[in-house]
Amino acid sequence: MKYVIVTGGVLSGLGKGITASSIGVLMKSVGLRVTSIKIDPYLNSDAGTMSPFEHGEVFVLDDGGEVDLDLGNYERFLDISLTRDHNITTGKVYSSVIEKERRGDYLGKTVQVIPHITDEIQDWIERVSAIPTDGLDEAPDACVIELGGTVGDIESSPFVEALRQFQFRVGRENVCFVHVSLVPVMGPVGEQKTKPTQHTVKELRGLGITPDLIVCRSSEPLQQEIKDKLAAFCHVEPRAVISAHDVSNLYQIPMSFERQGVRSMIAECLGVDTTEDDQFLEGWREMADRVDEFQDEVRIAMVGKYTGLSDSYLSVIKALQHSAMAVNRRLVIDWIESTDLDSSNLDSNQDGYSKAWGKLELADGILVPGGFGNRGVEGKIEAARYARESGVPYLGICLGLQIATIEFCRNELGLLDANSEEFVENSEDLANKAVVFMPEISKTHMGGTMRLGSKVTPFTVEDCKMKRLYGGVTEVSERHRHRYEVNPDLIDKIEAKGMIYVGKDETGQRCEIMELEDHPYFVGTQYHPEFKSRPGRPSPPFLGLMKAAVGQNM
């Protein structure tokens, strides 16, 4: 097994995840079967209880693991399906060690960070890196490991030490260290500064890890004299100082790395055959170039409550991009804060209300993504009503399906107080519960207690838009993350008025896919189809939205 270990310095958010994913693409292009691991030094067991404002979206895996959004980048770039164990956290590691200590596995030893925690980390990496992830049931040849956070953080220290030891456990010839750093541009003449990178590499080397490649994040390409200076101070060759400057789209990053010789340097470092699959990389290059060539736009209104941080909807954005590429359009997302659409806030927010509705009325399609809590719900309901009554293509995901159901119950069934138990403080007093709490879900614990992971959804009709978009299959398997569902007691009344649940779970009770009759495209899914979207293989519900938005047949 070959390992590429990606660390970061100076500050977080430099793009270690995209760097790791891009390196994985280049490794695939030399014939290696690649998997990936993300190490998050926080104490949480997983990302499931974190606020999207603080940590971006929670990415859901097939096995129900709630993990860091970087695992979504790995899955999309490398076309693999990871497990919850591919996301290592401090919480998971310490829980495992403490459980072993309680069982008596350490035979009376004093349990310490070294060797017990560091050994657990190394054992975890070796075990998980051998898990097949590309659907072919064969162990991968290489694993890209990303260490989250910044070198020098107190919480990351045990992981840095474990990775230092790991190079000797598996053999230094089987490990390539890549360090991602910042080269800021300062002053009126735009001088690129090397001192932050010098310091972070010095700190990393002081901890026992010598990087083989240094990837330097900067707005502009690194000047040769800067590369030479960094090489001299950081104990690498000038060719091993890689410029990670701004590019036109993310798919260009592997191509930028390839032009700088990253593929051959990593192959050389790991001692693997550099026979290149130019067909694989050429396909990637064509895709990256196509994204820049689109002239015609398609405008999608994204109605949510985390619109100030786009990483909160990262997988949704990627699924929209994949679908826009499939219809040869340049994607424009108009972000709309859902509270701005709520007429009850009109007196205090006249300007925001007018701007939000102006954006909504200009959109070619409307998307309401998943979310939790009651803030902004009435605005989302207004967006669903507008889309339904105006014939504008609409896709509702998870909460987006639920609020479309609530809106339909209020305005078509005459149940004016229809709502979700999630949004009403004393839900037992709610007469018309359009959406109810799932009976098997815990009400006392938050982490990992939702309906999570891949579930099968059989279609209940012979023909419908969604079934055609999925290729005519009888059932689909998609990833879930929810605690609430459409009230089964109202389904017959809703369907009698033309909103049909064309996909239900295997019991036939739980509503999974909704379509509105006599509408160009008014669709909702209880699951999250964005998690399985891939470049060149867009998610069918998103592709349907995009086709309807540009007037193409489905």
What are all long-range contacts of 110-114, with beta carbons under 8 Å and residues at least 24 apart? 113/158, 113/161, 114/158, 114/161
Active site residue 234: no
My answer on whether omega of the bond before 115 falls inside 30° of 0, hence cis, is yes
The residue type at 103: R
Active site residue 528: yes
- Cross-strand pairs, 337: 304
Is the CB of residue 515 less than 8 Å from the CB of residue 467?
A: no
Is the CB of residue 365 less than 8 Å from the CB of residue 548?
A: yes
* Strand pairing class (2-8; 175-182): parallel
| Distance of alpha carbon 310 from alpha carbon 317, whole angstroms | 8
The residue type at 193: K
Given the residues 398, 409, 464, 511, select the one marked as catalytic: 398
Q: In the chain, helix, strand, coil percent, each to 5?
A: 40, 20, 35
Given the residues 86, 179, 322, 528, select the one marked as catalytic: 528
| Distance of alpha carbon 449 from alpha carbon 338, whole angstroms | 27
- Strands (DSSP E) contained in 322-386 are 330-337, 365-368
Residue 514's Cβ-side half-sphere holds a number of Cα atoms within 13 Å equal to 32
Q: Which region, left, alpha or beta, applies to residue 118 given φ > 0 means left and ψ of -120 to 50 means alpha?
A: alpha
Q: Which one-letter DSSP state was computed for residue 110?
A: P
Given the residues 161, 422, 515, 530, select the one marked as catalytic: 530
Tokens for 219? 């707005």
Q: Which one-letter DSSP state was computed for residue 174?
A: G
| Distance of alpha carbon 67 from alpha carbon 60, whole angstroms | 6
Tokens for 269? 């470092």
Is the CB of residue 216 less than 8 Å from the CB of residue 184?
A: no
Interior angle at CA 404, CA 475 and CA 57, nearest 5: 75
- Cross-strand pairs, 35: 143
Active site residue 530: yes
| Distance of alpha carbon 287 from alpha carbon 535, whole angstroms | 8
Longest dimension (CA), the chain: 74
Residue 276's Cβ-side half-sphere holds a number of Cα atoms within 13 Å equal to 14
Task: Give the Cβ contact number of residue 460 at 10 Å.
Answer: 16
Is the CB of residue 162 less than 8 Å from the CB of residue 116?
A: no
Known catalytic residues are: 398, 528, 530
